[in-house]
Amino acid sequence: MDPSRPLWEFHFLDIPTSEATSTAVIRVPHSFGDGMSLMTLLFATARSAADPTRLPAMPKQPQRRGAIYVPPPRSAGALAFLRWVWSYLLLAWNTMVDVAFFAATVLFLSDPKTLFKLSGDNMVSNPRRRFVHRSVSLDDVKFIKNAVNCTVNDVLVGVTSAALSQYYFRKSGNTNTDQICLRSVLPVNLRASSSLHKYVDMIESSKSDDVAWGNQLGYIILPFHVAMLDDPLAYVRKAKKTLDRKKSSLEMLFTCKISELFLKMFGIKVYIFCSFVLIFFIQD
């Protein structure tokens, strides 16, 4: 990063829209904090133009207000009670499996040898790595989301899996349609989506010391399935199944606590080193 340039930028676009009289664009490094904490700080330091003693108008409360995992409400009846108990048993089992898989990945488990792993002769013949990007219409993503009854993230993971699959079978010439599993490390924001409103209210009531600033991120190992599928939407459905399974696990909370423990015990340098080692083992 260029040290002569500031670490943050504020741009005010004095262009009226249907929702506001002007727009503020803020560019800051993600190391300062996650989006929710930075938005909390922005709202807490701003005031309404109509009444300088009040906060600006807050956005609407999101539909999902709970934490990452919200168990189903307990209802009356024997069958409903069994479902409620089963949800906790499934949560405990998925968490144990994911944590064990995460530990095995750090210690010895690796992905199969494919075109996506640079090792041996491949590193000598093709040492370069490229970033390939493509713009995708958000309207198209939402259309698929509504058709399959999933989320935007499900669609994007499915599209990525389909792209990796097409690239692999085109470049390798492999006709074996057996599934190949590749893995990636995916950061997850652990803040509840309603924390913006709660933290702003806490700051206004002189309880700013209780507000948790900075990043609150956990990590999950997200598998990408490389396979030849006739139906393009099958990639999205498989991604939805994988992500739904991850949502019924506390793997991201476990990895967040482990990261905080490493940071407190060994400092920021060891923490960053261990993060790079984890990414290296996933790729290697």
Catalytic residues: 30
- Residue 46: CA atoms inside 13 Å, Cβ hemisphere, count? 14
CA-based nearest residue to 35, from 181, 162, 189, 184? 189
Q: Identify the bridge partners of residue 12 per DSSP, sorted by sequence position.
A: 24
**Contact by Cβ (8 Å): 42, 33:** no
Q: How far apart are the C-alpha atoms of 185 and 4, rounded to whole Å?
A: 33
Task: Provide CB contacts within 8 A for 116, sequence distance 6+.
Answer: 164, 168, 182
3-state secondary structure of 183: strand
What contacts 24+ positions apart, CB below 8 Å, involve 274-279? 277/106, 278/105, 278/106, 278/185, 279/185
Give, in order, the Cα–Cα distances in Å from 252 to each of 155, 216, 229, 242: 21, 10, 30, 15
HSE at residue 48, side-chain half, CA atoms within 13 A, is 8
10 Å Cβ neighbour count for 160? 15
- The span from the CA of 228 to the CA of 119, in Å, is 25
Determine the Cα angle at 234 with ends 232 and 238, to 5°.
Answer: 135
